[in-house]
């Protein structure tokens, strides 16, 4: 691998780690209704786990309520079971055609638990970014040993990898702190 390939691969993988972290944050409850709370729930639909957003229209008619309209009425019971067994902490109310989820306000204790989860997700993302850095540095060392890169090129590549790592870790930290503020505000 040459310098550009190493840097491009590292950047793509770090971006993916940040995207996964961002998706995890969307699924966290903040006291306000948000389709992201339920759209990744997997429903056992005709024997295969299917994301809820592929089976139903998810809307937020009120700040404290999520409305789920299944495209197929026969999937209603499966959707209710999936929501009950998920860790979303929401109780579905079904009227036979659609499902209403009331999002209760969060207690202070529950908010602290959410902040702890945000920090755990952030640390997982930072670890993933550092693992990408380690792999990229390893590729750089191999390329230098195989005479693909000169010693100076290898050092500059490692510096660029470290700069990438810092920028993506900063992005994770910024997103985590903004989510913490969002969770803690009442």
Q: What is the pLDDT of residues 95-154, one digit of tens each?
A: 888 899 888 777 888 788 888 989 999 999 999 999 999 999 999 999 999 999 999 999
| Total residues belonging to the chain | 186
Average pLDDT in the 70-74 region?
Answer: 87
Q: pLDDT at residue 37 above 90?
A: no
CATH architecture of 3-26+107-184: Orthogonal Bundle (1.10)
User: Where would I find the beta strands (DSSP E) of 5-135?
Assistant: 42-45, 48-51, 56-62, 65-70, 92-94, 99-102
Residue intervals of the chain classified under CATH 1.10.132.20 are 3-26+107-184
Q: Where are the beta strands (DSSP E) in the chain?
A: 42-45, 48-51, 56-62, 65-70, 92-94, 99-102
Whether residue 39 has pLDDT greater than 80: no
CA angle 10, 128, 49 (to 5 degrees): 105
Provide the CATH number for the domain formed by 35-102 in this structure.
3.30.1360.40
Segments of the chain assigned to CATH 3.30.1360.40: 35-102
The confidence band for 29, taking pLDDT boundaries of 50, 70 and 90, is low
H helix or E strand, kind and range, residue 71: none
Lowest mean pLDDT among 81-95, 144-158, 162-176: 81-95
Is the pLDDT score of 35 beyond 90? no
Whether pTM exceeds 0.75: no
């Amino acid at each position: 691998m040459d310098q550009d390939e190493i840097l491009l691969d590292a950047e793509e993988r770090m971006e993916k780690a940040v995207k996964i972290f961002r998706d995890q944050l969307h699924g966290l409850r903040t006291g306000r209704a948000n389709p992201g709370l339920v759209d990744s729930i997997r429903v056992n639909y005709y024997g295969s786990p299917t994301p809820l957003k592929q089976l139903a229209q998810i809307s937020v008619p009120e700040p404290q309520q999520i409305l789920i309209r299944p495209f197929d009425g026969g999937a209603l019971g499966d959707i209710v079971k999936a929501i009950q067994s998920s860790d979303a902490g929401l109780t579905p109310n079904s009227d036979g055609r659609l499902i209403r989820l009331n999002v209760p306000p969060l207690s202070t204790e529950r908010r602290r638990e959410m902040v702890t989860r945000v920090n755990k997700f952030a640390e997982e993302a930072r670890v993933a970014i550092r693992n990408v850095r380690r792999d990229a540095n390893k590729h750089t060392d191999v390329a230098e040993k195989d005479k693909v890169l000169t010693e100076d090129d290898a050092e500059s590549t490692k510096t660029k990898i470290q700069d990438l790592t810092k920028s993506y870790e900063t992005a994770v930290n910024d997103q985590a702190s903004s989510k913490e503020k969002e969770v803690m505000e009442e």
